[in-house]
Amino acid sequence: MSYKKRKIVNKLMLTISVFTFLIGAFFLFWILGDVFLKGARYINWRMFIEVPKPPGVPGGGIGNALVGTFILTILASIIGVPIGIMVGVYVNEYGRGKLAWWTKFLTEVLTSFPTIIIGVFVYIILVVPMKSFSALAGGIALGIIMLPIIAKSADEAIKMVPISLREAAYALGIPKWKTILRVVIPSASGGIITGIMIGIARVMGETAPLLFTSLNNVYWSVSLTKPIGSLTVTIFNYATSPYDDWRNMAYASAFILVLLVLFLNIIARLYAGKRRK
Amino acid sequence: MKKNLGDKIFKGIALFSSLFVILLVFFLFVELLIYSFPSIKKFGIYFFIDKIWDPVTERYGALPAIYGTIVTSILALLIAFPLSIGIAIFISELAPPALKRPLSFIIELLGAIPSLIYGMWGLFSLAPLVQLKIGPFLQRILGFLPFFQGYPLGVGYLTAGIVLSVMIIPTISSLSREILMAVPIDQREAGYALGMTKWEVIWKIVLGNARSGIFAAGILGLGRALGEAVAVTMVIGNFPNISVSLFSPGVTITSVIINEFAEAAGQLKISVLMELALVLFLITFLIMGLARYYILKRIEGR
């Protein structure tokens, strides 16, 4: 190829590369803009304190769904956060052999595993024996989804803690477990907290596993053994309904969901960026 | 003495957490297998080659679902893979260093959007566009191909493929970007010293070096597309069908599980849905496992 031709190919390919990025960014703004434009105008204060109404009946809201999502997220965190952190501790501080390798490998696989399978699994082990869909089942499903996310970020954060910090603690005669609890985990807390925020954002947006576990509830409910409403399942039902006012409600609720998820992600990113400095 | 006890308990908890992850995956598989047993026993291999889905006569074939899952995922990969590589090149090789993090954050945000939101976007914004603009356009220029026959309905394989492709762009591009950035700088400099243009350095040296890693990133994206549930269910059209035309509606493994589960009555149908979940488990586990094994080995093998 002549020099001139090579230069043209160079320019062309680099321009294409810039364009691919613009296409990606375009999709982000299109999808977000879609939700914001179609959702913002149907937002009203009453929707935060009301429960869903039948189609055609004015008003109605997602108050119960917000409470449900909150409860489900708390349940998921109770399961996902401590176990996730301890997995990170194990693979860094204790595990050397095959078990640590398998844990790491399966954690990686679980991170991007289809969440619908987790939902079906919890349906088998919990909903069938209890003979009822329940908030508990939903929380456990979301907890299983959250676990690998926390484990991965804990693993990465703990790996960064300098060995000298541990040695300093050992030199003072502090036992290993106290060193981990008081020195290693606090030093890694930045990365772990970022992971928790990302994990919470992720499970808040999950729909498929909840369809098999917590199902839905159009009334106020805080019982762990009964089905519970959630933001995502409510939006799913509204959006796939044939009624216009329900679809509008779906967009208004989706607007709130997207705000929550984006907020958590941006805060997590800013927090991680600040710590890096 | 006291010190030993504390250490033992703490180590025990850590060990238990690790075992929890391993046993979780194990029991996931075992429980799905047990529950799909009635279906496996009744249909055997015909489950995978039968395309009839008829609850009345209790005849269930998984072929349309498997076909739909594969078609939409491959389509998504075909669209997303080149785009993601371009994005990774842009961020790793072209963008100014100060902008690298904010720019990659924009793409990573695509991965943070819940799949439900993708579904709504696909159903209410993209599907009408496919029906009225993209579909007729493809038909005009590529209408001679069997993939673009018939009347575009809006929902169907094509729309699902496009939605999935946007969803897997962040997966493929952020992993590829990391792999590109791990290529040593002096290899690039060696290329420039030989008088190569920037593109030649990227194409022959950087991408050449990162080839296997990028391949694994693509496989991982494919795995994500295979298991995506809600967004696909909303735009696939839900019609048990095997059609070469990308305009036709279809079903996927996940859409069948979601839609049929709500009205699943009887042990056999539940079992059939569990077998579908088991098939999805095996496919994704194999694919994810391969990609992850490859990446883990590459990152830690050095």
Which single residue is written with the structure tokens 């907290």?
A: A193
Whether residues A14 and B199 touch (CB distance < 8 A) is answered with yes
Q: Do A61 and A18 share a domain, yes or no?
A: no
Does B259 contact A at CB distance below 8 Å? no
Average pLDDT over chain B, rounded to an integer? 91
* Contact list, A103 vs chain B (CB under 8 Å): 18, 21-22
- Note whether A66 and A199 are same-domain residues: yes
Helix, strand or coil for residue B59?
Answer: strand
d(CA B58, CA B136): 39
> Residue B300: its pLDDT value, please?
55
CB neighbours of B101 closer than 8 A, spacing ≥ 6?
A273
Task: Estimate to the nearest angstrom the gap between the alpha carbon of B173 and the chain centroid.
Answer: 13
Nearest CB to A94; choose among B11, B257, B274: B11
**Most A CBs within 10 Å: which of B34, B120, B290, as the mutation test of the A interface?**
B120
Count of pairs with CB atoms under 8 A, one residue in A, one in B: 258
Instruction: Give mean pLDDT, residues B131-143.
Output: 90
Q: What would the pLDDT profile of B65-74 be if each residue is shown by its tens digit?
A: 999 999 999 9
| CA of B292 vs chain A CAs: smallest distance (Å) | 7
Cβ contact B9–A177 (<8 Å): yes
Greatest extent of chain A over all pairs of C-alpha atoms, in Å: 74
Which positions ≥6 away from A7 have C-beta within 8 Å?
B197
Handedness of CA B82, B87, B88, B89 (dihedral sign): positive
| 3-state SS, residue B250 | strand
The mean per-residue pLDDT over the stretch B248-253 comes to 96
Q: Are B212 and B119 in contact (CB under 8 A)?
A: no
Mean pLDDT for the stretch of residues A93-107: 90
Of A7, A105, A202, which has the smallest distance from its Cβ to B292's Cβ? Answer: A105
| Residues A122 and A223 occupy one common structural domain | yes
**CA–CA dist A114, B286 (Å, integer):** 13
Virtual torsion, Cα A154, A155, A156, A161, nearest 10 deg: 90
Helix axes A98-111, B2-43, angle to 10 degrees: 50
The answer to whether the beta carbons of residues B268 and B42 sit under 8 Å apart is yes
| Candidate from B83, B93, B234 with C-beta closest to A240 | B234
Q: What is the total count of domains within chain B?
A: 1
What pLDDT is recorded for position B171?
A: 94
Could you tell me the residue range of the domain that residue B137 belongs to? Answer: 31-301
Portion of chain B with pLDDT greater than 70, in percent: 96
Range of the domain at A80: 47-276
Q: Is residue B113 part of a domain?
A: yes
Beta-carbon contacts of B203 under 8 Å, excluding residues fewer than 6 positions away, are A13
* A56: CATH: 1.10.3720.10
CATH of residue B188:
1.10.3720.10
Q: Which residues contact A109 (CB under 8 A, 6 or more apart)?
A: B25, B285, B288, B289, B292
User: Does the beta carbon of B71 lie under 8 angstroms from any beta carbon of chain A?
Assistant: no
In the predicted model, is pLDDT for residue A40 greater than 70? yes
Interface predicted TM-score of the whole assembly (ipTM), two decimals: 0.94
User: Based on the number of CB atoms within 10 Å of its own CB, is A202 exposed (0-12), middle (13-18) or buried (19 or more)?
Assistant: buried
Q: What is the spatial distance between Cα A200 and Cα A207, in angstroms, rounded to a whole number?
A: 14
